[in-house]
Amino acid sequence: MISNINYWDLDAVADSIIRGRKLTDDNLRELLSLTEEEDIQKLNYVARKVRDHFFGNRVFLYSFVYFSTHCKNNCAFCYYNRCNDIQRYRLDMDEIRSIARAVKNETIHMVDLTMGEDPYFHNEPEKFVDVVKAVKEETGLPIMISPGVMDDTTLTKLHENGANFLALYQETHDKDLYRKLRVGQSFDERNHARQFAKNIGYCVEDGILTGVGNDIESTIVSLRGMENGQPDMVRVMTFVPQEGTPLEEVDQESSLSELKIISVLRLMFPDKLIPASLDLEGIDGMVHRLNAGANVVTSIISADSSLEGVVNYDRELEERDRDSKSVIKRLRSMGMEPASQAEFNSIIEKRRTKPARIPVVA
Ligand code: SF4
């Protein structure tokens, strides 16, 4: 790559990535420094070309079930941190089963079971194993768990009982920034859980925040940190200041930086899953993220659901336009299609039968 995107042969750059070219730190610096919308659109074009080579026009859809908003932690960026005086809920088993039955009737490839680090489940992990078993039983679908950091024994039990994917975002691999964001939590334990899960046959997702004190060098540290863990799915999300949190007063950046990083992720992880979350800007935002190179739509919830998202751009809106039917309609208007369940299952199966062998942080 040369130092001005206007001199790139965009198709040739895409082809070189498809053939296995790796980005250097200088390449990353160059791409992350782009500020002009026109330049970022060129980068988005290259990323789409790479994605289309590996995935065609097929998109994966994940349903989001935030079943407990209780949490023992104090992350500075999070609305659900334990110090925030908000209304919280924890669904009981009947409610979880009934949501799972509703999910079964939608076009969804995987169910994402998310909670804060709720002591109710973390002190007695068997209760969480029961939730996974019940949702598996009701849906028969692959299950992603997003429970925070759990120990090796619990991760193993969850995997044996139907959990296929672990989502555990580091948020940043820059240790100084980590200390400010994930206040009082171990950097290494978080990495360890993801690596351990991967080695026993889970697919894993790592993710970072942008617009939260990360400059270009810090972002490169995070991108390389994610790369070292060899995740199956990589995410970036724009930081959105949340009421009642220590970072409430921070100015929110536009989504341009996120769109740029999504494209950079596609060039670094050409054949991996990269999500376009509905949680930040709904279906219009999903379109921009897919156009930047994403290939998964996450945070789908049924039209009448009152469950929480994580960022919840639509917390105040009466109608929540993020059900699978609305998503698919918009995908088709973009010339894209939901993938088949078999296509998604083959990704899960490949990892299950060929677990990774990466060094685990003690
Ligand atoms: S990010 Fe997760 S672990 Fe941190 S406070 Fe929020 S819910 Fe808890």
Q: Which of 308, 300, 304, 309 is nearest to 330 (CA)?
A: 300
pLDDT band of 292, cuts 50, 70, 90: very high
Ligand 1 atom index nearest CA of 69: 7
Q: Is 358 domain-assigned?
A: no
Residue type for position 68: S
Residue 15 maps to a domain: no
pLDDT of res. 304: 66
Specify the ligand 1 atom closest to the Cα of 78. Answer: 6
CB 252 within 8 A of CB 272: no
Instruction: End-to-end CA distance of the chain: give it in Å, rounded.
Output: 38
> Ligand 1: which of 67, 68, 72, 80 to mutate, most ligand atoms within 8 Å of CB?
80
Cα-to-centroid distance, 89 and ligand 1 (Å): 14
Count of domains observed in the chain: 1
Q: For position 101, which CATH number holds?
A: 3.20.20.70
CB atoms within 10 A of CB 152: 14
For 188-238, write each residue's pLDDT tens digit: 999 999 999 999 999 999 999 999 988 999 999 999 999 999 999 999 999
Query: Over 70: is that where the pLDDT of 309 sits?
Result: no
Residue 196 and residue 359: Cα distance in Å, rounded?
9
| pLDDT at 46 (0 to 100) | 97
5, 58, 7, 16: which is closest to 270 by C-alpha?
16
Q: What is the mean pLDDT of residues 50-57?
A: 98
| Residue whose CA is at the smallest distance from ligand 1 atom 5 | 81
Tell which atom from ligand 1 comes closest to the C-alpha of 82. Answer: 5
Residue 43, pLDDT above cutoff 70: yes
The answer as to whether 251 is a domain residue is yes
- The pLDDT tens digits of the residues spanning 67-124 come to 999 999 999 999 999 999 999 999 999 999 999 999 988 899 999 999 999 999 999 9
User: Residue 34: which of 60, 54, 8, 57 has the closest Cα?
Assistant: 8
Helix (H, G, I), strand (E, B) or coil at 214: coil
| Ligand 1 atom nearest to 116, measured from its CA | 7
pLDDT of residue 192: 97
Assigned domain for 217 exists: yes
Assess contact for 246 and 234: CB atoms under 8 A: no
- Tell me how far the alpha carbon of residue 71 lies from the centroid of ligand 1, in angstroms: 6
Average pLDDT for 12-17: 95
Task: Kindly indicate the confidence band of residue 355, based on its pLDDT and cuts at 50, 70 and 90.
Answer: confident
Q: Which residues define the annotated binding site for S-adenosyl-L-methionine? A: 77, 171, 182, 190
**Burial category of 58 from C-beta neighbours within 10 Å (exposed 0-12, middle 13-18, buried 19 and up):** middle
Position 120 in a domain: yes
For ligand 1, atom 2, the nearest C-alpha belongs to 116
- Can you give the pLDDT at residue 4? 75
Q: Which residues line ligand 1 (CB under 6 A)?
A: 71, 73, 75, 78, 80-81, 116-117, 148
87 in any annotated domain: yes
- For residue 105, the 8-state DSSP code is T
In a 10 Å sphere around its CB, with 0-12 CB exposed, 13-18 middle and 19+ buried, how is residue 324 labelled? buried
The C-alpha torsion from 267 through 212 and 184 to 206, rounded to 10°, is -20
Q: What is the CA 196 to chain-centroid distance, rounded?
A: 19
Per the prediction, the chain carries an average pLDDT of 92
Q: Which residues are annotated as a binding site?
A: 71, 75, 77-78, 112, 146, 169, 171, 182, 190, 235, 277, 298-299
Residue 12 domain-assigned (yes or no):
no
Please indicate, yes or no, if residue 2 is contained in any of the structural domains: no
Range of the structural domain that residue 274 is part of? 23-353
Positive or negative CA dihedral for 334, 337, 343, 347?
positive
Going by alpha carbons, the residue nearest to atom 4 of ligand 1 is: 75
Residues in the annotated binding site for (3R)-3-methyl-D-ornithine: 112, 146, 169, 235, 277, 298-299
Separation CA 303–CA 322 (nearest Å) = 7
171 CA: nearest ligand 1 atom: 1
**pLDDT given for residue 257 in this prediction:** 92
Burial letters 255-281, b for 16+ CB under 10 A, else e? bbbbbbbbbbbbbbbbebbbbbbbbbb
The per-residue pLDDT for range 237-273, each reduced to its tens digit, is: 999 999 999 999 888 888 999 999 999 999 999 999 9
